[in-house]
Amino acid sequence: MSDTAVRVEGLAKRFGDVQALGDLSFQVAPNEIFGLVGPNGAGKSTTLRIMSTLLSADDGEVSVFGADVTSAPNAVREAIRYLPEEAGAYENLTGRRFLQFVAGFYADDPGELLERGVELADLGERITDKTSEYSKGMTRRLLLASSLMTEPQLAILDEPTSGLDVRNAREVREVIKDYPSPERSVILSSHNMLEVEYLCDRVGLINEGEIVAVGSPTELVAEYDVENLEDVFMEVTA
């Protein structure tokens, strides 16, 4: 078992004229929820997509539980589940069939995974409705359940509560909060500083493609001698 869940070292990525990431480094420990926080366009999704093997880096190294994204992408894919910022479910399937469909990729007998997914989604009787009839929040909960039911070593969640109402966001946060274990970690991005303070053991503040501050919310607030994480954000992205 690797003692580092994620290691990002000197990561760089350019899209045409835009240097999205430049020399970005941080680490995530097992049993940790790590938050990537930063302004629009700072490079959060680009980092998460490289970590998910969906995008290649121009330079630098990323490994997930010891597996390198470039030389061992299949090992990384086995270790992770990635919930993109804008994701949808197959609209002609019911929520339950969708979970069964995903579970089928991960187990010969997907029954146990499916029941775990149904429990995590917590959609009650609506789980048997077609996903085309779901609200945005219901779809998000279904997708989060489909990501976590297979118990990946690393759950990569891009803005997991984006667009959710207060109750749904709160319930999704509880599911995420319960997820880490000595063999499991979470990395997420969020624009909600209260959420990040509540959920994350450590936070990396990213600005213009570089990590500009890293630490626990308490450490960062003390280091910058401010009231809360939002103040830290304002200081380091000024």
Ligand X SMILES: Nc1ncnc2c1ncn2[C@@H]1O[C@H](COP(=O)(O)OP(=O)(O)OP(=O)(O)O)[C@@H](O)[C@H]1O
Q: Is 52 in the site for ligand X (CB under 6 A)?
A: no
Q: Which is nearer to ligand X, 46 or 63 (CB)?
A: 46
Size of the site for ligand X (CB under 6 A): 11
Residue given tokens 């009787």 in the structure block: 125
Beta carbon of residue 36, minimum distance to ligand X (angstroms, whole number): 8
CB 203, CB 217: distance < 8 Å = yes
User: Residues 129, 131, 132, 135: what is their CA dihedral angle, to the nearest 10 degrees?
Assistant: 100
Q: Is 139 in the site for ligand X (CB under 6 A)?
A: no
From residue 31 to residue 50, what is the string marking binding to ligand X with x (rule CB under 6 A)? Answer: -------x-xxxxxxx----
Q: Which is nearer to ligand X, 80 or 123 (CB)?
A: 80
Report d(CA 213, CA 207) in Å as an integer: 9
Cα 14 to Cα 43, 57, 59, 158, 195: the distances in Å are 10, 8, 10, 20, 30
Report d(CA 57, CA 53) in Å as an integer: 9
Q: Which is nearer to ligand X, 113 or 196 (CB)?
A: 196
Beta carbon of residue 87, minimum distance to ligand X (angstroms, whole number): 14
Please give the radius of gyration of the chain, using alpha carbons only, rounded to the nearest integer. Answer: 18
Q: Is 205 in the site for ligand X (CB under 6 A)?
A: no
Site residues for ligand X per CB under 6 A: 15, 18, 20, 38, 40-46
